[in-house]
Amino acid sequence: MKRTYMLALALLAIGSGSSAYAASTPTTDQLEAHLWQLARATDAQGKRIDALFVRGREPYTLRFQPGYMSELNLCNYASSQYQLQGDRLILENGVVTTAGCIRAEVAEQQRRASTLVNGRPAPTLALDDNGSLVLRNVHGDTAIFTPAPLPVK
């Protein structure tokens, strides 16, 4: 009976696509090796965060460079100093340009993106078994970023 129960649990974990067992904390080298494009985002209730996806615009993207994280493809450019403390993404000394966002949905994307990555306690980062970056914040939001090639210099 115990063996059947353990086998059922193992099959359930595999079948559900759960990456809880395969997740790992990324290193700065892993973060800086790619651009990270938003593929999925859900709130604490599991509902898609539509505001982060604007039709006709490139996906919200994170770029990590030595000591800095930039948020790309928003209405305004945002950059902060970053460091990892365990699995926590610590952002400090952020700057954001202040161009007016003409379209309301683009302004809302900017606001929602800021809420996603900023907050106390700091959001956590993990690499799942597919190589995607999983960000979770204090509000219960979860964002999945897929790796993309860095621009050619």
Q: Is 6 inside any structural domain?
A: no
The reply to whether 28 falls in a domain is yes
Q: b or e along 80-109 (b: 16 or more beta carbons within 10 Å of the residue's beta carbon)?
A: bebebeebebebeeeeeeeeebeeebbbbb
Per residue in 9-37, pLDDT (tens digit) is: 333 333 334 434 468 999 999 999 999 99
- Which CATH number goes with the domain that contains 46? 2.40.128.270
Residue of higher predicted confidence among 12 and 144: 144
Establish if 71 belongs to a structural domain: yes
Count of domains for the chain:
1
pTM: 0.83
Tell me which residue range forms the domain holding 33: 23-148
In a domain, 17, yes or no: no
